[in-house]
Amino acid sequence: KRTSAMDEPCKQSGNMMDEFFHENDYHVSRRIYSNQGFDQVHERQAQEIQSLRERLSRTCGCTDKWAVQKIKGLLPILDWLPKYPVKQWLPGDAVSGVTTGLVCCLQVLTLAPDEHFLRSVNITGVNETVTDERLMEIDVEAREAQRILVACTMTVLVGLFQVAMGLMKVGFLVRYLSDPLVGGFTTAAAFHVFISQIKTILSVPTYNHNGFFSFAYTLIDVGRNINQTNIADLIAGLLTIFIVMAVKEINTKFQHKIPVPIPIEVIVTVIASAISHVMDLNSQYGASIVHSLPRGFAPPQTPNIALIGNILGSSFSTAVVGYAVAVSVAKVYAAKHDYTVDGSQELIAFGVSNIFGGCFSSFVASTALSRTAVQESTGGKSQVAGIISALMVMIVILVLGPFLQPLQKSVLAGIVIANLKGMFMQISEVPVLWRQNRTDCLIWIATCLASIVLGLDVGLLAGLVFEMGTVVVRTQFPSCATLGNVPNTDIYKNMKDYKNVRFTFFYAVGFDAVRVFKKRNKALKKIHKLIKKGKLQATEDGLVPVASLGVENKAFEKVQVPELEEGASQPDSEVKVQVDWTSELPVSVSVPRVHIHSLVVDFSAVSFLDVVATKSLKLTVKEFIRIGVSVYIAGCDGELVRRMEALSFFDEEVTRDILFLSVHDAILFIQLETSTGNEEDPLAEKVKL
């Protein structure tokens, strides 16, 4: 073949690659190690077992450095506040805090149904006052008092549960909230928030629905009363959505040129309040406005102990679900802004705030997706934004309440909807997940649909169950591979993935050890019968077929059978019979062929063994041993070996000698054993004559 000038660069490139790989070769010379041999040579140390008292003493030992670390861990503000970059973050936090504070203080919540507070109406006549049992009215004062009592009692109880879980480090459960699960859940939460704001945008009457298919019932109510839509509220809401989203796009596009994001939510709120007040939209057009805002703070009060029995179960579920929702939302923004979430610290923080807030007539604190979206999208960078938001709420309650009373509720709803864009954009992750990992994609879709249809609390639980189910299914059906050796190396790779992998020492098992054992037993029983009938003769060297069979049995070695004296009988004894199970047998039993004498299992990817797994593994090893196949386990770490010892994996038949440091150690050991012929013939079977 002629070589052109164009081939020269290719040759040079190939030579350079050869030189590169040659220069990066390394050679290691060491003995073959089993686990037991390695432990003896390198003097393995026994693991120190400490008593409970010693561990507690070591854990609770207090030094100045330890105390400072614990205090900062409990109060992270002591760590990050001194490092707070005022110039970079304070403007954004201020705008975000004021905006979020306005949104927080302008929404209301029902804590107890009106039906529980109906009373008879008193009718005052000319000379007397009578009570008409047929006419009922709501006792507003009693209703509000009971709502406050239930709220503060439940809040304190939820806080106690959360603090207890935080101290017990239950926050590790956050690990089970995978990114696909969180993405699906928060998208469903955004959907529920969107549905709840539609009725406010349209200003139509609806019932409060919770639980299964609540979104559908809300949409049905909206559809029934769509003819009652208030045009003034609808226009105000749509304009708010359009303006807020447009300005946010400007903030995003020119974020490097604008020192502080335009506080469009604050601007819209102020302008909308002024327009509503000047035009008297409530009286002239029937617009739904905020109306009166409560001023001042309720005095502190102790929880009602008598209510605890009735709300114990719901308080615990609220503590768990509230924490899960909060951490789910936190993980979304943690991934976006590159920080970590300490689950246990979150529990303690929520718990302390709930205990303190419950004593001041507060309801349970968690994460509100709409307010979080508002705070993040308006430039909030740290907890300073939360502090400013709280101060803003306090200022509104104490001073600014009357100025915001004319504000239309549809404007607030429009601000919330406009800030949900980021949550809904998570839907774009679904096609990417489908291409990357279809199981994760199914977790995202299942969690989202379950949370939409069943409600956020039950939907989150359903998503977790589905996620755990996928783990169980994948664990039950793991991917296994037949490994081959890369020539002249200690590297073993999947035979299907590489062409230049040697097949010399590895074969797929391809048979069921239990079935082989049963078939062999069946064949031996038939051989036993043939021997008793005199059609086969057994000696220490093998079986000799009787000439009357008319066939030559290649499965057994022919030997000269010693003649017995006249009158003597065949002794009843056990004779080792050499059975070549790879040849044709003298009986009509199909015994699966076993083409291997050793099996090496790579345990380098195994992280733990429980009781059931240990028993199953031990049984499997014994099943192979009894059909003459030696089993070796390679790559077990020290903790896994200790678990095997604790679970009585080893005995007289399954010894520690089957453990090797690596697959290559096991392979070299097998080669050495077979080449020196140290093994007894594993195919020897005993037949009782």
- Domain ranges within the chain, ordered by starting residue: 79-475
Is the pLDDT at 403 greater than 50, yes or no? yes
* Backbone dihedral region for residue 347 (phi beyond 0: left; psi -120 to 50: alpha; all else: beta): alpha
Please state, in angstroms and rounded to a whole number, the distance separating the CA atoms of residues 246 and 655: 73
The encoded tokens of residue 236 equal 């105000």
Q: What's residue 546's pLDDT?
A: 57
Tokens 């070589």 belong to 3
| Helix spans in 338-396 (H) | 343-358, 369-377, 383-395
User: pLDDT band at 3, cuts 50/70/90?
Assistant: very low
The encoded tokens of residue 394 equal 């306090």
In tens, the pLDDT along 235-262 reads 999 999 999 889 888 887 887 777 777 7
Written in H, E and C, the secondary structure of 462-509 is HHHHHHHHHHHHHHHCCCCCCEEECCCCCCEEECCCCCCCECCCCCCC
Choice between 591 and 626, residue whose per-residue pLDDT is larger: 626
What mean pLDDT comes out for the span 17-38? Answer: 70
The pTM is what? 0.63
- Burial (0-12, 13-18, 19+ Cβ within 10 Å), 238: middle
Question: Contact at 8 Å (CB) between 684 and 578?
Answer: yes
Choice between 424 and 335, residue whose per-residue pLDDT is larger: 424
How far is Cα of residue 160 from the mean position of the Cα atoms in its chain? 26
**Rounded to the nearest 5°, which phi and psi values hold at 371?**
-70, -35
What mean pLDDT comes out for the span 579-607? Answer: 79
Written in H, E and C, the secondary structure of 568-637 is CCCCCCEEEEECCCCCCCCCCCCCCCCCCCEEEEECCCCCCCCHHHHHHHHHHHHHHHCCCCEEEEECCC
Please state, in angstroms and rounded to a whole number, the distance separating the CA atoms of residues 212 and 225: 22
Is the pLDDT at 281 greater than 80, yes or no? yes
Please state, in angstroms and rounded to a whole number, the distance separating the CA atoms of residues 634 and 23: 30
> In this prediction, what percent of the chain has a pLDDT beyond 90?
6
In a 13 Å sphere around the CA of 627, the CA atoms on its Cβ side amount to 28
